[in-house]
Structure 1
Amino acid sequence: MSTAVLAEAVPVILLLGVLAFAVLRPRGLPEAVAAVPAAALAVALGTVTPHQAWEQTRTLLPVVAFLALVLVLAHLCAREGLFEAVGAAVARRCGGSPSRLLAGVFAMACAVTAVLSLDATVVLLTPVVLATASRAGARARPHVYATAHLANSASLLLPVSNLTNLLAFTASGLSFTRFAALMALPWLAAIAVEYVVFRRFFRADLTEPAAVGHAPTPTPTPDHEPRPAPAVPRFTVVVVALTLAGFALSSPVGLDPAWAALGGVLVLGGRALARRQVGPRELVGAASPLFCLFVLALGVVVQAVMAGAPATGLGRLLPQGDSLPALLGVAAVAAVLANAVNNLPAVLALLPLAAPAGPGQVLAVLIGVNLGPNLTYVGSLATLLWRRILHRYGVEAELGRFTRLGLLTVPATVVASTVALWGALHLVGA
């Protein structure tokens, strides 16, 4: 093997090793355990220079800091009981109808994903949905599958909805409100397709009562009376609403939206600390520092990969321009790559290639990497985490069912959202 071939093969091997470790997570070790040494090795072997590694890290740092703040904000909302209160309200309003419950879960998951990120939907909302289905006497399966799909599909709307969105937002040069305006139609299109497919795919679960033991409801005892429905924490809702408004208003005045997220965290976090509801260590843990470190290290590894032939090959695959066929081609390439190597490396690899062509191609990449992972477990780290959460609650996530559902939703959502993006680009303008 020639030196040139070896130099190109080593970063690819490192990337595949990091991704395999992230999927398997032996002994529950964090992803950074593999990513940080891989990044260091890439620098040591000269496949990426220290300057390139630092520039990539410096570019990603504001995005990762923003992600950490949003994760803390979502954790504080959960601590205040926001998700439980909304879940209880949805269960009350469904009136015992599994179909209405599915609509309520869709609305709840879409709102949480858009405003508090897909991680909040997967980690914090999924257990609430399980409890909500149990409270309503409905089968849990369609509703928990909805949290997995909507964590990806409903994350198209705002820059804060997904780490991939934050990266695309930075690369696009758009303001917060312009990004949201362009992605509103693609977001609605993806959700509409998901809902239609879910209603048909899970029609048996939505028309039959819950199987005995499938979604157990705790039986009250004299020593353990059922708790009253939790009240919506109004102070928390107001803070989240003001934080979201801060996101929208920060870009026009030249401020980073992270300042609005920091404000929300300081208000809710300071209140929780004063009441001794949380401790400093818990807040630091909620920011997922090891996952943030993983993202930074993964960025360096991807930078090493893209320094060689793969960048040229991917560049040839991406169609030029923002015509509808070109945008469909870009979204398709992004979706395939996300399922091949996970959506985070895919977006890190594709954004530098798409950004020179303008916001249209950047947002088409985002559609592919956000919607594509609903086809396979490995397409998104959020989906892998969703599986682990279901396993913890004794619910089986069947590979065959997940794949069949993905085959029905992914091509349809990618096409519908890309067509909607093309329309938005002409209506709103980039």
Structure 2
Amino acid sequence: MTVLAVALLGVVLVGAVTRPRGLPEASAAIPAAVVVLAVGLLSPQRAWAEVAELGPTVGFLAAVLVLAHLADAEGVFRWAGGELARHSRGRPQRLFLLVLLTAAVTTAVLSLDATVVLLTPVVLDTARRLGARPAPHAFACAHLANSGSLLLPVANLTNLLALKATGLTFLGFAGLMLLPQLAVLVVEYVGLRLVFRTDLAAPAEEPPAPEEPPLPRFAVAVLALTLAGFAASSPLGIEPVWVAVAGALVLAARTVATRRTRVLDVLLAASPLFCLFVLALGVVVAAVTDRGLGDLVAGLLPAGTSFPALLGLAAIAAVLANVVNNLPATLVLLAALGPTPATGAVLAVLIGVNIGPNLTPVGSLATLLWRRVLAARETPAPLGTFTVAGLATVPLGVVSAVAALWLTLTLTG
């Protein structure tokens, strides 16, 4: 039965990575979850408990995807592209730094999916319009979609799972992860600048006058208030999904009324099939965990929150993320840590599953989606370049982030 559970997880992951004939990720995950129940790998009660546990997190994911779609319809990303072009002054190195910072902010506020799907095309268009080589800026978006998701709970689905495991407030989480996030940003900047030094040194063509789309004040205000709402509601025990839904409803009312988008587009932006994929994946991973993988992983995890222990947790998490993808890895590792894990242990795991996927193209679903975005725009993303960029940033990024986390935990007690 253990072999069957692992085989089903393999089928789900292969289906999500390859998407044969363009089928959605859920096309493999839902049948696999049905088989899990049909053959008794998981009881219906256990499966329902897993779905109920993931429900608020998945609901939040849907709401944030809608928020990102509405922000795009309101022109937030067009405005960002205009600002990137204006402030870069035609200099590729300056554009690269601005793209890296913009990707980090976009990931933190609107999640890594917004950075991959909405910001990356804008960055590519901006680089080409300025006559700069697109590769450094495209890779900055890919890397910061993953490694830039440490700061806020809303940045990544893995963060929401970790937040629930630790019991931290929104601001408490951000306070502990601020220094690790800054450390990773420095590593990413230096590492990617080194890897793409030739592209960034190439002189840009004479750029045309940059477009200056107006600042979409209403949309930016709603996003800012939504972010503030996350921080304010967390100590009150209000799930972040309700704040995200409220922000999405307010912004949707205006965006639909002004015909910048349609109701159908808003519903599709919630990506219901992907949400079903996450729930079905949770059921399959629960079956694998209960059938022995959880005990195996638990036996490998170091105990305590010393620097070597935190580094070991992060390293194991990074490796597992690149083997089975970061979302299943997070579910398995959190289960292996037990019902009352140490906060430092959970955050070390989070560092591994968020930074680690930059080492291989299959480490996270966001990276796979980024490759599709580049393919649609005929922008190459060679495996060799991806690997070199990962080796230049991931190992040092993990060590730096863990060191910063250990220092923060030590100083805060």
The TM-score bracket by the shorter chain reads: over 0.9
Residues 173, 291 of structure 1: alpha-carbon distance in 2 compared, 3 angstrom cutoff: same
Q: Which amino acid aligns with 2:141?
A: T
Q: 2:75 aligns to what?
A: 81
Q: What SS class does the counterpart of residue 323 from structure 2 fall into?
A: helix
8 A contact 2:133–2:200 mirrored in 1: yes
Aligned twin of 2:174: 180
Aligned mates of 2:403, 2:153 — CA distance in 1: 20
Equivalent pair of 1:186/1:420 in contact (CA under 8 Å): yes
The partner residue of 1:349 within 317, 332, 342 is 332
Taking the aligned partners of 2:252 and 2:321, their CA distance within structure 1 comes to 35
Indicate the RMSD between aligned Cα atoms, in angstroms: 1.5
Q: TM-score, normalised by structure 2?
A: 0.97
Residues 95-174 of structure 1: pairs in structure 2 closer than 5 A: 95-174=89-168
By how many angstroms is 1:136 displaced?
A: 2.0
d(CA) in 2 for partners of 1:227 and 1:398?
30
Q: 2:342 aligns with which of 358, 364, 368?
A: 358
Question: For 1:145 and 1:119, how far apart are their aligned partners in 2?
Answer: 15
Distance across 1 between alignment mates of 2:120 and 2:357: 18
Q: Which moved more, 1:234-243 or 1:296-305?
A: 234-243
**Counterpart contact for 2:192–2:392, Cα < 8 Å:** no
- What 5-or-longer segments of structure 1 have no aligned partner? 1-6, 220-225
Q: Are the aligned partners of 2:71 and 2:219 in contact in 1 as well (CA < 8 Å)? A: yes
Alignment partners' CA distance in 1, 2:216 and 2:329: 38
Q: Would you say 1:318 and 2:312 are equivalent positions?
A: no
Aligned-partner Cα distance in 2 for 1:350–1:210? 46
Match of 1:285 in 2: 268
Match of 1:41 among 35, 46, 49: 35
The counterpart of 1:199, out of the listed 193, 197, 202, is: 193
Given that 2:85 and 2:210 are in contact with CA atoms closer than 8 Å, whether structure 1 keeps it comes out as no
> Structure 1 residue 276: deviation in Å?
2.2
CA positional deviation for 1:255: 1.4
- Does structure 1 residue 268 correspond to structure 2 residue 251? yes
Gaps of 5+ in 2: none
CA distance in 2, matches of 1:336, 1:278: 41
Q: Deviations over 1:327-357 (max 9, x none)?
A: 0000000000000110011001001222533
Give yes or no for contact 1:139–1:209 (8 Å, CA) kept in 2.
Answer: no
Aligned-pair distance for 1:228? 4.3
1:222 aligns with none
2:66–2:270 Cα contact (<8 Å) kept:
yes
Q: Which residue of 2 aligns with 1:338?
A: 321
3-state SS of paired residue (1:252)? helix
User: In the alignment, what sits opposite 2:290?
Assistant: 307
Aligned counterparts of 1:190 and 1:292: Cα–Cα separation in 2? 29
Aligned counterpart for 2:397 among listed residues 389, 395, 413 = 413
8 Å Cα contact 2:130-2:205 kept in structure 1: no
For normalisation by structure 1, the TM-score amounts to 0.94
CA contact (8 A) 1:126 1:147 kept: yes
- 1:377 maps to what in 2? 361
**Matched-pair identity in %:** 58
1:237 aligns with 2:227: no
- Taking the TM superposition and a 5 Å limit, the aligned residue runs for 1:202-241 are 202-210=196-204, 228-241=211-224
> Does the Cα contact within 8 Å between 1:113 and 1:120 map onto a contact in 2?
yes
Please name the residue that 1:397 is paired with: 381
CA distance in 1, matches of 2:43, 2:224: 43
CA distance in 2, matches of 1:192, 1:235: 33
Distance 1:48 1:296, change over 3 A: same
3-state DSSP of counterpart to 1:46: coil
Equivalent residue in structure 1 for 2:66, among 57, 69, 72: 72
CA distance in 1, matches of 2:345, 2:169: 16
| Deviation of 1:404 (Å) | 1.0
Aligned partners of 1:114, 1:198: CA distance in 2, in Å? 20
The amino acid of 1:320's aligned partner reads A
Query: Post-superposition shift, 1:176?
Result: 0.7
- The one-character-per-residue Cα deviations of 1:178-220 (angstroms, maximum 9, x if unpaired) are 00100111111111100011111111111113589xxxx9x9x
Residues 358-381 of structure 1, C-alpha deviation per residue, up to 9 Å, x if partnerless? 111111111000000000011001
Distance in 1 (alpha carbons) for counterparts of 2:211 and 2:327: 42
What is the distance in 1 between the residues matched to 2:198 and 2:31?
48
Tell me if structure 1 keeps the 8 A contact 2:90–2:204.
no
Paired residues, number: 412
> Following TM superposition, by how much is the alpha carbon of 1:317 offset from its aligned partner in structure 2, in angstroms?
0.6
